[in-house]
Amino acid sequence: MTELAADVVLQVEDLRTHFELGRRVAKSVDGVSFSVRRGETVAVVGESGSGKSVTSLSIMRLLAPPGRIIGGRILYRRRDGSMVDIAELPEKAMRAVRGREIAMIFQEPMTSLNPLFTVGDQISEMILLHEPVGRAAARARAKRMLELVEIPAAERRLDDYPHQMSGGMRQRVMIALALACTPSLLIADEPTTALDVTIQAQILDLLRRLQAQIGMSILFVTHNLGVVAEIAHEVVVMYAGRVVEQAPVTRLFERQKHPYTRGLLACIPDASRDRGAAGERLRLNPIPGNVPNVTALPAGCSFAARCPYVVDVCTKDPGPPLVAAEVAHLSRCWRHEAL
Amino acid sequence: MAASAPTAGNSERVRLLGLLLKRRTVVVGLVVLGLIAALAILAPLIAPYAPNKLSVVNRLKPPGGTWLFGTDEFGRDVFSRTIYAGRLSLLVGGAVVVMAAVLGVTLGLCAGFFRRLDTPIARIIDAMMAFPDILLAIALVAALGPSLVTVIVALGIVYAPRLARIVRASTLVIRELPYVEAARALGVSTPRIMTRHVLRNLVSPILVQGTFIFAYAMLAEAGLSFLGLGVSPEVPTWGTMIAAGRQYIGQADWMTLFPGVAIVLSVLSLQMVGDGLRDVLDPRLRKDL
């Protein structure tokens, strides 16, 4: 376990997380690999059911049964420099990693805080849990955290209950809570999805600034490519439990080497593009069909049924491998050269 | 800084107490409950007669004059008996609630939280609830031998499934809420999640059910005593007084009325305090914030 490059914080190798449902097996994550470098933001993008959330839950080891990591490694560099494989870590050791080294924020800021305790209490609880400090010191730190996430009148807000705050404020509190022990990696599972657009921009901006300040890495899970363009350095596109394309963000937006990514980008409504010559409104461009059922994946490429570029070889086993289409640009498509 | 640490917890408690006492219903409830408890505790000093002093000449005298609450079929003073009976009735009610709460909450939380334990615990709860309450209590008392402690233990076991069922159902809901997952993601241990994040959110259904059990227990104790399985018959309880007065309800309704009122008042006042407590413990229900 010494093969991690010096600046890599997290390296997922051939991760397989399956859900055994009686005789059927849902291969929600099936051979996913990527790595996150220090101070970098990696976005994992995909539709519902692509396995992006299961990937992040696997890294946190928060899978509910029958979900189970059945293969692969999740190498993580701890703060003291030692390397651990999260997939094999005992639960007790994992608990010390959660929150202290890897923190997570969720999609639902409205319900991600316990309604019965003040936000100050909840942030303090987190600090007291992981660090040998007194109550008063924890409270002082909680106040600094609220200031850090730019909540005005932090001192007074410490004694507020979650229901007294707006969604955007609560997400800020969640971020303060997650960062209270200065983790090296923050996993953000669609943290802006439930917020309205202006607040989304504020939260993304905040995350970017905090990242620069604290130097943490972010694994950002989303289906929103607009958000990806805002925050990510590296993009991993997932489809039906696999990585289908991976590239640095600017390159990916310039040139897509997988038809799925191309389709995802075409789905974004664009006011200038969606008008015809006479200024009439054109239709939106959805990708037809749905993500295939991960308990019964088709032979060959799992995107073939929805792909506009499909040819005969696409439906034949085995499916396309993930190859370097260009330097630092991976694609899982037989026709990546034609794209 | 560290020196002020313990006061942070205390001041929170003082603040909650302040909020609690701002509610008129809570104050009224506490006063009534306190009064009943004081009467019961100080019974030997207050009671004008010994609870078992017979006076055959003065059988079934109506309330008023010498006998504040009248007399029963043996000429015993109903007022003296009522306040003496409060000692045991309140004790039985309170102890059964505590016993049922400890058992029921533990079982319910475990069943709701650990998937493996859910089926066995839920089936045991169902099986226990299939028995009529009093029958199960009789069986338990018969097995353990009649005494005050056995009655409390037996009734505690009988009423625990009611609480366990409610706690289990609510735990199943709360367990899936995002803040429980968020707590887990931040490294909080399972026992701590169970107590701080789940149990604290269950306070109101537990309190409501607890006040019901308090009343049921006092009546069930009467049933057991009536059958000779409770405490010895010469010690009065509100339940035994009502049971005995039933025969004379046409001629001497005061025999059942006053112990009945005592039960109603204590349950009602307890419920008022419980309601207030629930409101104060749930910040969303606090109107004065």
Q: Residues A122-134: pLDDT tens digits?
A: 999 989 989 899 9
Write the single-letter amino acid at A74: I
Q: Which of B114, B117, B186 has the highest number of chain A CBs within 10 A, making it the mutation to test binding with A? A: B186
Distance CA A166, CA A40 (A): 29
Cβ-based interface (< 8 Å): residues of A facing B = 60, 62, 65, 95-100, 103-108, 111-116, 118, 125-126, 129-130, 134-137, 139-140, 161, 163-164, 174, 177-178
Q: Do B188 and A113 touch (CB under 8 A)?
A: no
A99–B289 CB contact, under 8 Å: no
Residues of B in contact with A174 (CB under 8 A): 182
- The alpha-carbon gap from A89 to the nearest alpha carbon of chain B, in Å, equals 14
- The confidence score (pLDDT) of residue A194 equals 80
**How close B207 gets to chain A, by Cα (Å)?**
16
A-B CB pairs within 8 A amount to 90
Residues of A in contact with B4 (CB under 8 A): 136
Q: Could you say which of 1.10.3720.10, 1.10.357.10, 1.20.1270.360, 3.40.50.300 is the CATH number of the domain covering B91-282? A: 1.10.3720.10
Separation in Å, CA of B187 to nearest CA in chain A: 5
pLDDT at residue B60 is higher than 80: no
Is residue B266 classed as helix, strand or coil in its secondary structure?
Answer: helix
Ranked by mean pLDDT, the top range of B22-26, B163-167, B197-201 is: B163-167
A111 with B178: Cβ contact below 8 A:
yes
pLDDT at B6 over 60: no
Pick A103's closest partner by Cβ from B179, B186, B283.
Answer: B186
Q: What is the ipTM of this complex?
A: 0.78
Q: What is the spatial distance between Cα B49 and Cα B153, in angstroms, rounded to a whole number?
A: 32
Q: Which of A104, A130, A140 minimises the CB distance to B185?
A: A104
Least confident of A237-241, A278-282, B249-253: A278-282
Mean pLDDT of the B138-166 span: 91
**Cα Rg of chain B (Å, integer):** 22
| Residue in chain A lying closest to B177 (CA) | A111
Tens digits of per-residue pLDDT, A279-328? 666 677 788 888 888 888 888 888 888 888 888 888 887 888 888 888 88
Tell me whether the omega of the peptide bond preceding residue B44 falls within 30 degrees of 0, making it cis.
Answer: no
B179 lies within 8 A of chain A by CB: yes
> How many CB atoms are closer than 10 A to CB A278?
5
Considering chain A, what is the average pLDDT of its residues?
87
The reply to whether residue A126 touches residue B186, judged by beta carbons under 8 angstroms, is: yes
- In whole angstroms, what separates CA B212 from the centre of its chain? 7
Q: Are B186 and A106 in contact (CB < 8 Å)?
A: no
Chain A residues touching residue B183 (CB < 8 angstroms) = 114
Q: Structural domains in chain A?
A: 1-101+185-294 (3.40.50.300), 112-182 (no CATH)
SS (HEC) of chain A? CCCCCCCEEEEEEEEEEEEEECCEEEEEEEEEEEEEECCCEEEEECCCCCCHHHHHHHHHCCCCCCEEEEEEEEEEECCCCCEEEHHHCCHHHHHHHECCCEEEECCCCCCCCCCCCCHHHHHHHHHHHHCCCCHHHHHHHHHHHHHHCCCCCHHHHCCCCHHHCCHHHHHHHHHHHHHCCCCCEEEEECCCCCCCHHHHHHHHHHHHHHHHHHCCEEEEEECCHHHHHHHCCEEEEEECCEEEEEEEHHHHHHCCCCHHHHHHHHHCCCCCCCECCCCCECCCCCCCCCCCCCCCCCCCCCCHHHCCCCCHHHHCCCCCCCEEEECCEEECCCCCCCC
Contact yes or no for A106 and B182 at CB 8 A: yes
pLDDT value at residue A24: 86
The beta-carbon neighbor of A99 closest among B2, B187, B283 is: B187
Distance from CA of A126 to the nearest CA of B (A): 7
DSSP code, position B189: -
pLDDT of residue B1: 35
Q: Which tokens hold the place of B121? A: 């615990």
Mean pLDDT of B79-100: 92
Among B116, B118, B179, the residue to mutate for chain A (most A Cβ within 10 A): B179
Separation of CA B246 from chain center: 24
The average confidence (pLDDT) of chain B is 85
Q: Which of B89, B27, B16, B118 is nearest to B241 (CA)?
A: B89
Burial of A78 (0-12, 13-18, 19+ CB in 10 A): middle
> pLDDT at residue B196 above 50?
yes
Burial of B195 per CB tally in 10 Å (0-12, 13-18, 19+): exposed
pLDDT attached to residue A3: 64
Average pLDDT of span B193-203? 88
Task: Report, as an integer, the average pLDDT of A56-85.
Answer: 89
Rounded Cα–Cα distance for residues A147 and A324 (Å): 44
Q: Are A45 and A235 in contact (CB under 8 A)?
A: yes
Lowest mean pLDDT among A76-85, A201-210, B52-61, B196-205: B52-61
Instruction: Supply the pLDDT for residue B4.
Output: 39
> Is B8 within 8 Å of A136 when comparing Cβ atoms?
yes
CB < 8 Å to B181, chain A: 62, 106, 112
Please tell me whether residue B64 adopts helix, strand or coil conformation: strand
Model confidence at B106, pLDDT cuts 50, 70, 90, reads very high
Q: Nearest-CA distance from A277 to chain B in Å?
A: 48
User: pTM value?
Assistant: 0.79
User: A134 and B188: CB-CB below 8 Å?
Assistant: no
- Interface contact A111-B2, CB threshold 8 A: no
> How many CA atoms does the CB half-sphere of A327 hold within 13 Å?
0
pLDDT tier for residue B55 given thresholds of 50, 70 and 90: confident
For residue A135, list chain B residues with Cβ-Cβ distance below 8 A. 2, 5, 8-9
Average pLDDT over residues B105-128: 91
Q: How far is CA A339 from the centre of its chain?
A: 27
pLDDT of residue A280: 66
What's the gap in Å between the CA of A300 and the closest CA on chain B?
36
% of chain A residues with pLDDT over 70: 95
Q: What's phi and psi for A221, nearest 5 deg?
A: -100, 125
Between residues A218 and A293, the one the model is more confident about: A218
